[in-house]
Amino acid sequence: MPSQHGSSKTLFREYLRRHREKRRVHGAAAPSPEPVTPGDDSDKRKRNRSFRVLLVELWRLMQGHHGVVILALCTLTFSTLLGLLPPFSTKIAIDYIITNNPGPEGIPPRLFRLGLPTSPQGLLVALGLALVAITAVSAAISTWGRWHMTRLTKRLQVRVRRRVFDHSLKLPLHRVYQIKSGGAASILREDAGGTAELAFALIYNPWRAVVQLIGTLVVLSLTDWRMLVGGLALLPAVWLSHRTWIARIRPVFRDIRASRTHIDAHATEVFGGMRIVRGFARQRGEAGRFVRHGHLMARQEIFVWWWSRIVEIIWIMLIPTASAAVLVYGGVYVLRGELTIGDVMMFSAYLFMLLSPLDVLVSTATNIQNQLAGFDRVLDLLDEPLELGGASATTAAAPLSLGALTKGEGGGEGSPLLPAFPPSSSSSASASSSSPSSPLRLIKSHVRGRVTIQNLTFTYPAANEPVLSHINLDVPAGATVALVGPSGAGKTTLCNLVARFYDPDAVVGGAILLDGVDLRVIDVASYRRVIGIVEQDVFLFDGSVRDNIAYARRRATIDDIRAAARAANADGFIEKLERGYDQLIGERGVRLSGGQKQRIAIARAVLSDPRILILDEATSNLDSESESLIQASLKELMKGRTCLVIAHRLSTIRHADVIVVLEGGRIVETGSHDQLVASHGRYAAMLRHQAESGVLAVEPTPKAK
C-alpha cells in the first residue's frame, strides 16, 4: 500500500499522482504503480504483459488438455453456425409465405415432393418446427462442448492454485515474509482462482464471437455488399477503443488486487496477534487502518468503473444508431424496389447478431481485464526465483539411485551422498566448482552428522552489513555445541544457515559442510529430513495432537507417537485431555499452555529421529519442574546426535562438549564450560552477571587477576 498514514482521500490523491507520473514517463503501456507492501524490497515494476503473451501462457497452462479445448471449440463452431439459420427464416416467412414476393413459387419444387405442405399455414408450421429442431440440436451440441470446457476450467483452477502454492512454499524466506500469510492466501484465492476463468474469457467466448462475426459477414455479403461495408466499418472503431481503453484499465486492476492482498494480509496479521491488539487496546486503531485502506480500494474501484462505463456508453448508443441506419437504408431501397421487406428484416436480425457478440465482449471486458491483471500477478510470482537457486525443488529433482557410496568414493568413509561427487569436495567443497548437474540426495541411515563451517560470512538479502563474519567451526559427529552470546550476536542466523534456510554469500560467504560435502550440492529436502528443529517460538498447526507430533513422519503409528511423547514428557498431560491424542488444539495451539506446546514440539523432533538437532531456547517457556523433565529427556535424545543448542540461561548448557561465544557476528571464545570459566573471558563475565542477577543459582565466577 502507499502510505500507512492519512485519510483514504489523501492516499488516493497520492496514488493518482504516481499513476499519472508513471503514464507520463513511461507512456500508456507503462507498468502500473503497484502499491508497495511495507518491508517489501522486491522490484515493484512488474511486467505488464501483452494480450498475446498472456494468451500463450494460458495455452501452456492447459498442456495435456489441448485436445479437450479443440474439441470444445469444434462443437461451439458447429452450434454457432446452426444458430445463424434462424434469422434467415424471417426472409423466408415474409417473402416466400406471407407475401407474394416471390411467394411459395420461389421455394424449390423438390421440397414439395419430399412432403412439404403447399398451403401458407402449413408452410409456417413447418418453418416453426424446423427452427425448434435446429435450436434443440444447437443447444445439445453446445451444452456437450461447454460441459467439457467447464470441467477443464475446474481442473485448471486446481492446477494453477497447486502450482502457485507449491512455488510459494519454495520461495526464499525473506520473500515469504514480504508476501505475508494473508497476502499469499489472497493470491491463491483471487488471482490463481480467477486465472482458470480466462479459459472462457480469452478462448471460448471470443471464439464464438469470431465465428458468429465471420458467419454473419458472409450472409450479409450475399444479401447486399453495401451493408457488408457498413458492418465492417464498425470493426476498426471497436479495435481502436479497446486498445486505448485496455492500456488504461488493466494497470489499475493490478493496483486494486495489490490493495486487496494487503488488506487480507493486514486482517490475518491482526487476528493472529489478537492478544497483543487487545493487550494494548489497539482495536480502534487497527479497525481504522483496515477501513482506511478499504476506502482506498473502493476509490480505486470507482476510478476504474468510470473507465469501464465510457466504452459501454458508446456501445449503448452504437447499436440503436446502427439499427436506425439499416431501417433508413433498407426502407429507401425497398421503396425503390431493389430490396424486399424480408431482406431488410433479415439484415436487421443479422446486424444484431453482428453487434451482439461485440456488445457482450465489451460488457464483460471489465471482468476480463480484472482476471488478466490477476493472471499477470500469478505469472510474476511464478517467475520469482526459488529458494537457494531452485535446488529445493524436490518435485523437479532428477530421480537418483538409492545405492550408497562406498568408502573412498568422494566424501570419504560412510558418505551418505549419491551419486559420486568430486574428490576435491572434501576439502573446500565450493558449490561453484563441485555442484553436480542434479542435487545429491541423502540416505538418512548413512549420515554421520559432522558439521564443518569454513570462513562463513553472511548478509541478509537487502541488508548492507553482514550478520556473520569469518565463522570457522568444526562440530564432530554426535557432539553438542552450545551457542551463547547477547541478542543479535548471530546465533539464530548461524543455525538457520546450518538448517539451510539460507546459503552463504556466493562470492565471499565460505561454506558449510556435512560429512565433508558442501550443503549447496545436496538436495535441500533430503537434507532437511536429517535435521530436527525446536524453536523458542513454537508453531503448531490447527489439528489434533497426533497430527502435530507426526508432522515430520506422516506414516508414524500411534505407538511411535506415544513413544515420542513419553520421551518429551508430554504423554502425561496429553492423556488427561478430553480426547487424548485426537484432541484438537486450535490455531497455533491456542488451547494449550506454553509449556505444553513446547513439549509437543520436542516430541515432534523426537519422532523425526534427526541426525542433527537444533534447539533454539527449547526450554525457555517451561516452568522449573517441566524444564527438569525436559532436560532429562533432551539429554537422552541428544545422545549420538550432532546438536546445536542456543541458550541464554547458561546453566542449561554446562555439559555441552563445546561452548561457542558469539558477539557482533564473530566467534570470540570457544571451549568447554570449565575452560571458559578458567579463562575469565566473555563467557565468564556472562556467567557472573547471571549469577549476580539471580538467573542461575551458582557462586559468581572469580574475577580475573
User: What pLDDT, in 10s, does the model give residues 582-630?
Assistant: 888 877 777 887 778 888 888 888 888 888 988 887 666 566 666 676 6
CATH topology of domain 8-385: ABC transporter transmembrane region fold (1.20.1560)
The answer to whether residues 393 and 216 touch, using CB atoms and an 8 Å cutoff, is no
* Of 187-201, 483-497, 558-572, 675-689, the least confident: 187-201
pLDDT at 42 > cutoff 60? no
The pLDDT, as a whole number, for residue 424 is 37
- How is residue 470 written as a grid cell? 569469518
Cell numbers for 102, please give them: 416471390
Beta strand 666-671 with 642-646: parallel, antiparallel or unpaired? unpaired
Q: What is the pLDDT of residue 33?
A: 38
Q: Which residues contact 607 (CB under 8 A, 6 or more apart)?
A: 549, 550, 552, 553, 556, 560, 561, 564
**Considering only 365-369, 552-556, 582-586, which range has the smallest mean pLDDT?**
365-369
pLDDT band at residue 292 under the 50/70/90 scheme: confident
383-429: pLDDT as tens digits = 888 877 554 333 333 333 223 333 333 333 334 444 333 333 333 33
Which cell goes with 697?
Answer: 543459582
pLDDT grade for 162, boundaries at 50, 70 and 90: confident
* Closest by CA position to 517, among listed 366, 409, 611: 409
- For the residues 24-29, what does the mean pLDDT come to? 52
pLDDT number for residue 483: 93
Q: Report the pLDDT averaged over residues 281-307.
A: 81
93-151 pLDDT per residue, tens: 887 777 766 656 666 666 665 667 777 788 888 888 888 999 899 999 999 999 999 99
Q: How far is CA 592 from CA 204, 239, 279, 551, 587, in A?
A: 52, 62, 19, 18, 10
Answer whether residue 28 shows pLDDT above 50: no
User: Hey, what amino acid is at 314?
Assistant: I
What does the block give as the cell for 142?
453446445
Assess whether pLDDT exceeds 50 at residue 701: no
How confident is residue 474, by pLDDT bands cut at 50, 70 and 90? Answer: very high
**What is the per-residue pLDDT for 369?**
72
In the predicted model, is pLDDT for residue 579 greater than 90? no
Q: Residue range 224-238: average pLDDT?
A: 69
Rounded distance between C-alpha atoms, residue 689 and residue 676, angstroms: 15
Q: What is the mean pLDDT of the chain?
A: 76
Report whether pLDDT(313) > 80: no
pTM recorded for the entire structure? 0.66
Percentages of the chain per state (helix, strand, coil), in multiples of 5: 60, 10, 30
C-alpha span between 525 and 503 (Å, rounded): 14
Over residues 654-679, the pLDDT tens digits come to 888 999 999 989 999 999 998 998 98
Mean per-residue pLDDT for 146-163? 88
Flag the least confident range among 167-181, 200-214, 361-375, 552-566.
361-375
**pLDDT tens column, 436-472:** 457 788 888 888 889 999 999 888 877 788 889 889 9
Confidence of residue 698 (pLDDT cuts 50, 70, 90): very low
Q: Which residue has the higher pLDDT, 162 or 536?
A: 162
More confident residue, 47 or 16: 16
Q: Are 269 and 178 in contact (CB under 8 A)?
A: no
Interval 314-359: pLDDT, tens: 767 776 777 777 778 777 877 887 777 777 788 777 777 777 776 6
- 96: number of Cβ within 10 Å: 20
What pLDDT shows up at residue 76?
92
Give the CB-side neighbour count of residue 380, counting CA atoms within 13 A: 21
What pLDDT was estimated at residue 413?
Answer: 38
Cβ neighbours of 225 (radius 10 Å): 10
